[in-house]
């Protein structure tokens, strides 16, 4: 399996989602990620169920949520309240390339495990802090949670039907994007260290990330001077580009060019609309969106989903169904690409634990860690005795 980060050591002092998501991606790329968990408790998400992964003996092997973001790591238990535990983390950090943490601003300083404390013993250390609002500013001390950040950061003002309430995304949008950006920053810092020999402190904030991924909608606001409204499933800049009704449900039409619009009109049996001056160009269609979509959807509703999809695909118009997750993972392209993977786990019911692999493919080979999420403290002895991590001694050193 492709392991471009083989030999890179990551110490993860993070829990829940954004920090662990970054750690999992680095593990997928081949890094040795050691997850430090609170003795006897572990990552909060171990209990965020049901559903729970079940063991061969019926035992609870942690919640599905935990397994979604901790693949490929090793787990050790540490009591941060004990000097032994803090000394162990410092010893591991001395041999790490990267630390990922998501404590409140200043939360690790009292343990001497903040950037200042750990970089003093390892100047090459790349230290990535993940917080709700960043390391400075008037909100820095506040806790930040994905749902709240989605509201504060603007995405909910863009999501939902115009006359309905604002709606969050169905997954933790800000957390996952922050984990992705943190991974990019860490990789860039590793590359930069090859030239300078020095580590650095990466400051990742959920709010910064959420605002940054507003993308074209932010530019629409900057240029037009008016906040974009919620538009349901319609597109702010392109028409027709939205969910449309069929006789037995709904499909998505994602027309991006005037030529595709012409083909849609022909398939729907209204070729005259293709050249109607009210709708001929995208700017015209935007100006007359309501009138046009009423005419088009009156026609789409006369076709079945499968018939309309087939006819539009045949003429090169981008279209697609709206699948439930069972339909997603039965889709022939998803099956072919192997996005669901069963990772061998002798202690799990059925001998494996399912995972959703990384979408990264390098030289035709999917890149993902081949081992499932670890049991709490399962690797304490191995990590403490691992020469790459300083061969730190018996499990008792963990202080837990």
Among the listed residues 175, 203, 208, 386, the single catalytic one is 175
Strand-pairing partners, residue 249, are 246
What CA dihedral angle connects 38, 77, 199 and 175, to 10 degrees? Answer: -50
Asked if 175 is an active-site residue, the reply is yes
- The CA distance from 176 to 95, in Å, is 28
Tokens of 11: 């110490």
Q: Specify the length of the chain in residues.
A: 400
The tally of CA atoms less than 13 A away on the side-chain side of residue 228 is 24
- Distance of CA 384 to CAs 84, 92, 399, Å? 13, 9, 12
Q: Which long-range contacts (CB under 8 A, 24 or more apart) does 211-214 make?
A: 211/153, 211/154, 212/181, 213/155, 213/173, 213/177, 214/153, 214/154, 214/155, 214/158
DSSP for 204-238, written as a single string: EEHHHHHHHTTHHHHHHHHHHSSPPPP-TTS-SS-
List active site positions. 175
């Amino acid at each position: 399996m492709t392991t471009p980060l083989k030999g890179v050591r990551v110490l993860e002092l993070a829990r829940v989602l954004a920090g662990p998501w970054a750690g999992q991606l680095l593990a997928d790329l081949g890094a040795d990620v050691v997850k430090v968990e609170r003795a006897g408790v572990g990552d909060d998400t171990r209990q965020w169920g049901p559903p729970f992964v079940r063991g061969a003996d019926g035992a609870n092997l942690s919640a599905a949520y935990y397994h979604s973001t901790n693949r490929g790591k090793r787990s050790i238990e540490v009591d941060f309240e004990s000097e032994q535990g803090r000394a162990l983390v410092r010893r591991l950090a001395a041999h790490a390339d990267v630390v990922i943490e998501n404590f409140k601003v200043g939360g690790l300083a009292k343990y001497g495990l903040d950037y200042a404390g750990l970089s003093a013993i390892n100047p090459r250390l790349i230290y990535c802090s993940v917080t709700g609002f960043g390391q400075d500013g008037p909100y820095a001390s506040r806790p930040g949670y994905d749902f709240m950040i989605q509201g504060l950061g603007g995405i909910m003002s863009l999501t939902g039907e115009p006359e309905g309430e604002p709606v969050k995304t169905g997954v933790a949008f800000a957390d996952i994007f922050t984990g992705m950006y943190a991974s990019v920053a860490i990789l860039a810092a590793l590359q930069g260290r090859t030239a300078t020999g020095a580590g650095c402190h990466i400051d990742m904030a959920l709010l910064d990330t959420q605002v940054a991924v507003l993308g074209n909608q932010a530019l629409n606001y900057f240029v037009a001077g008016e906040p974009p409204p919620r538009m349901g499933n319609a597109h702010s800049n392109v028409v027709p580009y939205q969910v449309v009704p069929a006789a037995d449900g709904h499909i998505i039409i994602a027309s991006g060019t005037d030529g595709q619009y012409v083909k849609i009109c022909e398939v729907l049996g209204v070729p005259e609309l293709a050249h109607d001056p009210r709708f001929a160009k995208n700017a015209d269609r935007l100006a007359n969106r309501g009138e046009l979509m009423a005419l088009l959807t009156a026609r789409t509703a006369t076709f079945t989903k499968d018939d309309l999809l087939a006819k539009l695909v045949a003429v090169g118009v981008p279209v697609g169904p709206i699948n439930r997750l069972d339909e997603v993972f039965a889709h022939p392209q998803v099956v072919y690409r192997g996005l669901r993977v069963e990772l061998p786990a002798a202690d799990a019911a059925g001998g494996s634990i399912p995972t959703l692999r990384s979408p990264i493919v390098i030289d035709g080979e999917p890149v993902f860690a081949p081992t499932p999420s670890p049991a709490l403290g399962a690797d304490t002895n191995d990590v403490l005795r691992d020469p790459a991590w300083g061969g730190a001694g018996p499990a008792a050193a963990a202080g837990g």
